A and B are shown apart, each in its own frame.
Chain A
Amino acid sequence: MNTLTTRTPLATYVVRHADDNVILGQRLAEYISRAPELEEDLAVANFALDHIGVAQHLFAYASAVEGDGRDADALAMLRSEREYTNLLLVEQPHADFAEVMARQCFFDAYQVLLWRRLSASTDETIAGVAQRAVKEATYHLRHSSGWVVRLGDGTDESHGRMQHAVDRMWRFTGEMFEGDDLDREMAALGVGVEPADLEEEWQATVDSILEEATLTRPADPYQATGGRRGLHTEFLGRLLAEMQWMQRSYGGLTW
């Protein structure tokens, strides 16, 4: 049962990409003030800000498309866990800096390709968001892949940790390229893309990063799935409990 309810397929499509960004932004926000160096606190805050900025624009657009009075914040913070349609990758918690960067690198490599395609969307708002976001994602990928390489090809300890992080996040990467009826519908209209079309280039990008990092591409064939249908890992509920707390505790107020 997919309980996501928006009025239109377009809003549903926009919300899934907004969800990816708000949830990853929230995860990164948890890490601020905990980074190995001040420069990385700055970088992580910058990533969080960019992802939340993208989410703000997309939720606002979804809200306008829906037109039933649910504003961007209500969409972001007042849905139930089963109504969030983000990829499982972005909700994964991080045990260390290597996991922060592995999650980021895999997602950045995907978002660079996604936004590049969506920059040519027939939907002007989506195209506008994508044209800005592709620049941010490109910069994020440079930073995150730089750390994957540095840690992979650093010390024995960092190599082991980076490999572990890659192995840990790997099973959540296949989901990025699964398409469903909505993806096909949006792609047919020229609004969206078929996720499968991004996979080959993503694999090539990630392979070359892993190779430079002297890391082994995980052989684990298992791939998790369900995020787009609102079937999440247990981690999302706790993230939402924190993110939604103010909106849930003090209904209908202006902040």
Chain B
Amino acid sequence: MSEHAGRARFAAIIEADEKVEPRDWMPDEYRANLIRQMAQHAHSEVIGMQPEANWITRAPTLMRKAILIAKVQDEAGHGLYLYSAAETLGVSRDELQEMLHSGRQKYSSIFNYPTLSWADVGAIGWLVDGAAIVNQIVLQGTSYGPYSRAMVKICKEESFHARQGYSIMMALVEGSDEQKAMAQDAIDRWWWPALMMFGPHDAESSHSERSMAWKIKRIKNDDLRQMFVDQTVPQAHYLGLTIPDPDLEFDEETGHWRIGEIDWDEFWRTIKGDGPLNRERIAHKVKAWEDGRWVREAATEYARKQRARLGKSA
């Protein structure tokens, strides 16, 4: 197909709300934009394993430990799945990983915050996965086929994650004063970073406009954030927790909860590398990768020997 015909077909697919598939012609920038977004998404799943893995060995009961392991395992699986989906765009997992390690690609800034108590594991499930789901449900409608299908699968597991987080919070608020304080402390620290997960106001988002036109992105940052706030505020109230926002109020006219202004300095500082644990998260990842180099080399060498042996015996 000529580039002209490809371009026309691409425009028609986007217009008709159909899916772009790996073999379809697509603009270079569409491809680059998707690689950036899908890689960032995959990296977030993988880096996101760390703050939760921080509590696996200290989980308070066997049941909670098992659920948390399963959740972190799901995240590794999501990472793999998303890297595979990104590979359909002609980039390898190793290349993407290298870009993560060297800081050229980002991951969700939320994972640069530390998990300081068991309640943080609950808060991550409830708030962070809750926010991710709002994003990902919409992404099921994204224009790139493999990404859209990955989201359908991932959303199912994420809703289990959010429920387990809420269940941890529920157990805490029904518990002792110490447990309630732990839950409140967690929402105090995680509420604002969770809201920041939706990104800057659309006017300041460098990728938003074009992503909307290409239907990679379907709903604006601020609208997604509002959906999350509206669903989460009543849950916090049900738990008896106070949301750390003195300006929070219900707008009777629109039926929406209005939040105070986000600390955008903190947002940009963390994105640019100066959040509480940016350096540690990457160092952990790079160390695991470097420590495992000899293992990967051995696997490659063993496979080579096996092929040679099979070749000889054939």
Report A's interface with B, CB cutoff 8 A.
22, 25-26, 29-30, 32-42, 45-46, 48-49, 52-53, 55-56, 59, 72-73, 76-77, 96-97, 149-151, 153-155, 157-158, 161, 242-243, 245-247, 250, 253-255
Q: How far is the CA of A56 from the CA of B175 in the complex (A)?
A: 23
- Give the segment of B13-21, B252-260, B262-270, B295-303 that binds chain A: B295-303
Whether A33 contacts B80 by the Cβ 8 Å rule is no
Q: Given the complex, which residues of B lie within 8 Å of A242, measured CB to CB? A: 57-58
| Closest chain B CB from A252 CB (angstroms) | 9
The chain B residue with its CB closest to the CB of A76 is: B62
For A243, the chain B residues whose CB sits under 8 A away are: 57-58
Chain B interface main SS type: helix
Contact A154 B299 (CB under 8 A): yes
**B residues in contact with A255, CB < 8 Å:** 60-61, 64, 118, 168, 171-172, 175
| Majority SS at the chain A contact face | helix
Q: Which of B45-53, B128-136, B240-248 contacts A (4 or more CB under 8 A)?
A: B45-53
B295:A36 contact, CB within 8 angstroms: yes
A41/B49 in contact, CB under 8 A: yes
Query: Which B residues touch A149, using CB under 8 A?
Result: 302
Measured between alpha carbons, how far is A35 from B53 in the docked complex, in Å?
A: 13
How many residues belonging to B are interface residues under a CB distance threshold of 8 Å?
Answer: 49
| Contact yes or no, A151 B298, CB < 8 A | yes
Q: How far is the CA of A128 from the CA of B297 in the complex (A)?
A: 41
Query: In the assembled complex, how far is the CB of residue B290 from the closest CB belonging to chain A, in whole angstroms?
Result: 10
Contact at B80–A38, with CB atoms within 8 Å? yes
B79 contacts across to A, CB distance below 8 A: 38
Bound-state Cα–Cα, A33 to B301, Å: 24
Distance, CA A158 to CA B297, complexed state (A): 9
CB distance from A42 to the nearest CB of B (A): 5
Q: In the complex the two chains form, what is the Cα distance from A42 to B49 in whole Å? A: 11
Are B302 and A73 in contact (CB-based, < 8 A)?
no
Q: Is the Cβ of A53 less than 8 Å from the Cβ of B66?
A: yes
- Please name all residues of chain A whose beta carbon is closer than 8 Å to the beta carbon of B203 when the two chains form the complex: none
Q: Are B66 and A42 in contact (CB under 8 A)?
A: no
B138 at the interface (CB under 8 A from A): no
Query: Is B77 an interface residue, CB under 8 A from the partner?
Result: yes
7 other A-B residue contacts (CB within 8 Å) besides A25-B65, A48-B69, A157-B294: A45-B76, A49-B73, A56-B66, A72-B62, A97-B292, A158-B297, A243-B58
> How far is B229's CA from A246's CA once the two chains are assembled, in angstroms?
32
**Chain B, 102-146, CB within 8 A of any chain A CB:** 118
Chain B stretch 283-314: residues in CB contact (< 8 A) with chain A:
284, 287-289, 291-299, 301-302, 305
Q: Which residue of A lies closest to B174 (CB)?
A: A254
Tell me if B76 and A253 are in contact (CB < 8 A). Answer: no
Q: Taking the complex as formed, is B12 at the interface, i.e. its CB lies under 8 A from any CB of chain A? A: no
| Interface flag for B176 (CB, 8 Å) | yes
Q: Which residues of A lie under 8 Å from residue B72 when comparing CB positions?
A: 32-33, 45
**Residue numbers in A under 8 Å from B77 (CB-CB):** 42
Q: A32-B49, A45-B76, A72-B62 are in contact. Are A150 and B302 (CB under 8 A)?
A: yes
Bound CA span A73–B61, Å: 6
Chain A residues with CB under 8 A of B176: 250, 253
A56 touches B57 (CB 8 A): no
Closest-CB distance, A50 to chain B (whole angstroms)? 10
A46 adjacent to B298 (CB under 8 Å): no
